[in-house]
Amino acid sequence: MAINYPNGKKFNPSKEPVKKKEKKDFSFSNRGKTLEDELNETNDYYLQLGHAVIHKKPVPVQIVKVEYPSRSAAVIREAYFRTPSTTDYNGVWNGRYIDFEAKETENKTSFPLKNIHEHQIHHMAQVVEQNGLAFMIIRFSSLQRYFLMRFESLQVFWDRMITGGRKSITLKEIEETSIEITPGAYPRIDYLSSLHKL
């Protein structure tokens, strides 16, 4: 029996069935999320439970030129950073002021110190001088490993670089001087538990 398409062409089935490409399952939880996304969700969780009040700092931007293509819309055409931002997050936990920077790297063996700026080191040093807690959360994205490094440890590696030494912190050094954070469901990055250990 001959089968025709609606346009009149004859249907000729190929001898080999067409193989459908198998879809890979990329539906792992948190895939594609940045460290910032994960920390923002964690901080919302802490806030809702009353554990801490920690927020991402807004970037200090000076808007120079705005256009209004319609009455209900505004488009920023030109803006500048007013001052260099300090660290990413700050707030209060357990009666203590906390201030920290969050950094990601795809490197598998070390964390490049070029990802940190001198004014951030200076800011964290000032926080520690006032008896606040300053630290850095590092995510090795390709390894899916997270570490909390106290500012005091970071300062040692920074000073080493400034005096002509290594320009990165090896993974082994991070493992020895930091607390590894095991990702979970709620909260995703429970860094407050690591602060308890400090």
In Å, the largest CA–CA distance within the chain is: 89
Structure tokens at 81: 């950073």
Which CA distances in Å does 177 have to 138, 155, 170? Answer: 12, 12, 11
The answer to whether the annotation marks 155 as part of a ligand binding site is: no
Collapse the DSSP code of 193 into the 3-class scheme (helix H, G, I; strand E, B; otherwise coil) and give the result: helix
The answer to whether the annotation marks 25 as part of a ligand binding site is: no
| Phi-psi label, residue 103: left if phi above 0, alpha if psi -120 to 50, beta otherwise | beta
Structure tokens at 174: 């991070």
CA neighbor of 34 nearest in space, from 103, 136, 120, 99: 103
Question: What DSSP assignment string belongs to 154-185?
Answer: HHHHHHHHHTT--SEEEHHHHHHHSEEEPP-S
The answer to whether the annotation marks 48 as part of a ligand binding site is: no
The answer to whether the annotation marks 88 as part of a ligand binding site is: yes
Q: What is the CA radius of gyration of the chain?
A: 25
Q: Which residues contact 142 (CB under 8 A, 6 or more apart)?
A: 106, 107, 108
Binding-site residue numbers are: 86, 88, 101, 120
Binding-site residue numbers for Mg(2+) are: 86, 88, 101, 120
